[in-house]
Amino acid sequence: MENKYTIAGIIDKKELFDKEVLNYKVIGCDDDLEMLFKTYKYAIITVGQIKSNTTRVKLFNKLKTIGYKLPIIISPLAYVSKFASMDEGVVIMHNVIVNVNAKIGQNCIINTKALIEHDAIIEKHSHISTGATINGGSVIKENTFFGSHAMIKEYTEIKANSIIKAGSNILT
């Protein structure tokens, strides 16, 4: 583990205040974010993207407006090339591989066992699901959900706001 950050607490529903979630105390709800900024300057978004990324994007924009810094979080079990680049708020999960010259935009989730090959571009607010393969030079435009075990052929582009179903093979 990098041990760069300490989890101060969880932001969740009002009714969970002062309870525990995953052994962390709930220290507030979304309405408390401005007040909490007086004490905490960093935040990560743990809301995923199932049917829509609306909640995740709204939280990202709210946190940025308040002034929070959204660090890049990389599992110690992932491999990320030192020649890859990532924007703020990116979360890289366990056993992900991100190869040379790949670019990942802000607020993206690269989920467990995904492969992002050389020169691939993942634009902001996208979610690359478990076991997905993004082959070299491919471009995943913003706000895209790329399903579990889906695969895209090299140098192929997916348009913005797309939903790629689990197990899909994009060959054109």
Catalytic positions are 118
Are the beta carbons of 124 and 141 closer than 8 angstroms? no
CA distances from 163 to 9, 48, 141 (A): 32, 14, 11
> From CA 7, how far away is CA 125, in angstroms rounded?
23
Q: Let me know: does 91 contact 73? Beta carbons within 8 Å.
A: yes
The torsion defined by the Cα of 70, 76, 79 and 85, in degrees rounded to 10, comes to 20
